Structure 1
Amino acid sequence: MKRFGLIGAATLALGISAVLPAEGGSFIEPKGVEAAALATPLPVDLPLEYVSGVDEYGSKVSQYKIDLGNRTGTLVLKMYMTEKYPKNGADTLFADVKRHRSSGFSLMDSNSAIYPGVAKGVASFDKYSPIYDLYPDIPKPKYTSGFQNVGVNKKGERFIALGVYLNSTVNNGIYYLDTPNMATGHWNVKAYFYENVNVEKRVFNEVGRYFPLLDKVRWGVAELKHNQIGRLTMLHNTPLLKEEYGKFKVARTLKNGEQYRIYGYKEISGKGYYAVGGGHFVEMNPKLAKYETPAKNKMRLVKILHEE
């Protein structure tokens, strides 16, 4: 009996040679990683609440509520337009943001969709941000504006990026996002937070690469790859097995201390094998190799980078 296991990849109708994605190789090279990369701060995934109510005209409106809980740091927002947004309007707004024109994005201290006369702006996301420095000779308050930019995620979907460093709290850390047509359901928004650190400019500069991250997600000294479920450290010199026509043969010997990324596993007649790419496998034997899994928060960040 054969059984296949994969994380984050299609599991149906797989041929023997298609057990694993080709994710940049599975051997982990422990050298050449700069200390700055290992010290790169990581954000937390921030839950958002979509609150609804009735405005002063009796219309049903909604808005995103952000609860930072009296924390300070860099708030980062990734905004996708829904199908409700007219395409011409969407294209115009994207063009405005790309040209660093003010586009009406604001962080408010209360629900401006329901109480527009009461809500006050905490930060605006416009061309006057310190990030852009379009007019360096004009003095401007540091925290009246954040950054705005546009990007494309790894699935080819366009998004607008917003962010601001908040060095103090207002309204016990509860804010509301005010954007064009926010109250009518034209946006899907995801939020991330870098606590106790100002990475406003760095995040802005990475919008075309890792946004909302600042670097690759690292597990130890190595990059944690998309669809990777673990790593294997050789405890002894261990055979690397190559499967051909349903049978294993020894491809070479893995050396004691070497590490390999694991993307899945395979079971044949009750015996398990780790899949290390290219149709190669290592026997599941704790005496031969140590298997470890990454922390859930790191796996979540990899998913954010590649799937959101």
Structure 2
Amino acid sequence: MKRFGLLGAATLALGISAVLPAEGGSILEPKRIEAAALATPLPVDLPLEYVSGVDEYGSKVSQYKIDLGNRTGTLVLKMYMTEKYPKNGADTLYADVKKKRASGFFLVDSNSSINSDNAKGLAAFDRYSAIYDINPGFSRPKYTSGFQNVGVNKKGERFIALGIYLDKSVNSGVYYLETPNMASGHWNTKAYFYENVNVEKRVFSEVNRYFPLLDKVRWGVAELKHNQIGRLTMLQNTPFLMEEYGKFKVARTLKKGEQYRIYGYKEISGKGYYAVGGGHFVEMNSKLAKYETPAKNKMRLVKILHEE
């Protein structure tokens, strides 16, 4: 009797029968990787609070509230236009961003749209901040200036990228993102944060590669692939099985020390097998192979890279 099911990439329990498609190669052959790549900082997700109110003119206004809790580092924002955004407005805005002209994005140190009298200063996402190094005569905002750029995610969706290095905490680390039409629901925004490090220029250059990451997500020296749920290290020479018509035959012998990416598993007649992709399997036996799962934060970063 053969049983099948589905297993989410973040679901690591092995009590449910499942097989996932392989993505990329399964065998892990760690090659020499530059130390800088292994030392690449990783961001964390930041929760955003959508706050609304009425301004002094009686108009509805809204902003995203970002609480860094007195931390310093590089704040990265990824903004998707929703279906509510007028098409002509979107075209104009994207054209402006591509030319790196001001498009009305500001990081404010108080809820200025609602309480304008309390505004103490802001950081404008108007041009990539290096422009100010080249042209020191340009007028800067009170604190600093971040970058803006545009990109396309792996699903083909276009987004606006905003980023800024905050070298000191203002307003106890509570900031507000101000931008046109925020109150109309025209934006879907995600925030990420690199603590204690200035990676503003590096993140800017990765907008059309790994944004908001700086590199592929690595587990040890190897890349952690999309849909990968674990890895297998051979403890002794082990049969490498290929499935044909619901039965297994030995394709070759895996050598002690070899590693493989695991994308799921299958149960046949009450016996479990790790799925390594391409219709190949390894018996679930702790004496034959050691199974390990990646940290949840790394799984989350892979999801960000491929799904957000």
Please tell me the TM-score bracket, short chain as reference. Answer: over 0.9
The answer to whether the Cα contact below 8 Å between 2:149 and 2:160 also exists between their aligned partners in 1 is yes
Q: Is the 8 A contact 2:63 2:178 kept in 1?
A: yes
TM-score (norm 2): 0.92
User: Which residue does 2:44 correspond to in 1?
Assistant: 44
Please, which runs of 5 or more residues in structure 1 have no aligned partner? 10-17
Query: How many equivalent pairs are there?
Result: 299
Q: Aligned partners of 2:138, 2:89: CA distance in 1, in Å?
A: 33
Structure 2 CA distance for aligned equivalents of residues 7 and 140 of structure 1 = 54
Match of 1:203 in 2: 203
What residue is the counterpart of 1:174 in the other structure? 174
CA distance in 2, matches of 1:118, 1:137: 29
Provide the residue aligned with 1:15 in structure 2. none
Q: Corresponding residue for 2:76?
A: 76
Alignment of 1:261-280 (within 5 A): 261-280=261-280
Measure, in 2, the Cα distance between the counterparts of 1:188 and 1:167.
27
SS in structure 1 at match of 2:290: strand
Aligned to 1:118: 118
Aligned to 1:215: 215
1:242–1:279: 8 Å Cα contact kept in structure 2? yes
**Matching residue of 1:2:** 2
- Partner residue in 2 for 1:25: 25
Paired with 2:164 and 2:151, the residues of 1 have a C-alpha distance of 17
What residue number does 1:130 align with?
129
Cα distance between partner residues in 2 of 1:193 and 1:301: 12
Q: Which moved more, 1:45-54 or 1:112-121?
A: 112-121
Q: Separation in 2 of the partners of 1:95 and 1:81?
A: 14
Following superposition of structure 1 onto structure 2, how do residues 109-258 of structure 1 map, counting pairs within 5 Å? 109-127=109-127, 129-132=128-131, 135-136=134-135, 138=137, 143-258=143-258
* TM superposition shift of 1:133: 5.7
Per the alignment, in what secondary structure is the counterpart of residue 145 of structure 1?
coil
1:114 Cα deviation from its structure 2 partner: 1.1
1:239 & 1:206 partners in 2: Cα distance?
Answer: 42
In the alignment, is the contact (CA less than 8 A) between 1:74 and 1:198 conserved in 2? Answer: yes
Higher alpha-carbon deviation: 112-121 or 255-264: 112-121
CA distance in 2, matches of 1:3, 1:46: 40
User: 1:250-295: per-residue Cα shift (whole Å, max 9, x none)?
Assistant: 0011111111000110001110000001000000000000000000
Is the 8 Å Cα contact of residues 20 and 279 (structure 1) preserved in structure 2?
no
SS at match of 1:193: strand
Query: CA, structure 1 residues 56+137, in 2 after alignment: closer, same or farther (shift >3 Å)?
Result: closer
* 5+ residue gaps, structure 2: 10-17
Verify the 8 A CA contact 1:243 1:280 in the aligned structure 2: yes
Conserved in 1, the CA contact under 8 Å of 2:243 and 2:249? Answer: yes
8 Å contact kept, 1:5–1:265: no
Structure 1 distance, partners of 2:136, 2:115, is 36
Call closer, same or farther: CA 1:116–1:85 in 2, change over 3 Å. Answer: farther
Verify the 8 A CA contact 1:165 1:199 in the aligned structure 2: yes
Give the alignment's TM-score, normalised by structure 1.
Answer: 0.92
Partner of 2:57: 57
Amino acid at match of 1:240: F
Question: Conserved in 2, the CA contact under 8 Å of 1:5 and 1:264?
Answer: no
Residues 20 and 227, structure 2, Cα contact 8 Å, conserved in 1: no
Contact 1:230 1:291 in 2 (8 A): yes
- AA aligned opposite 2:230: G
Q: Distance in 2 between matches of 1:5 and 1:25?
A: 23
Mapping for residues 97-108 of structure 1, pairs under 5 Å: 97-108=97-108
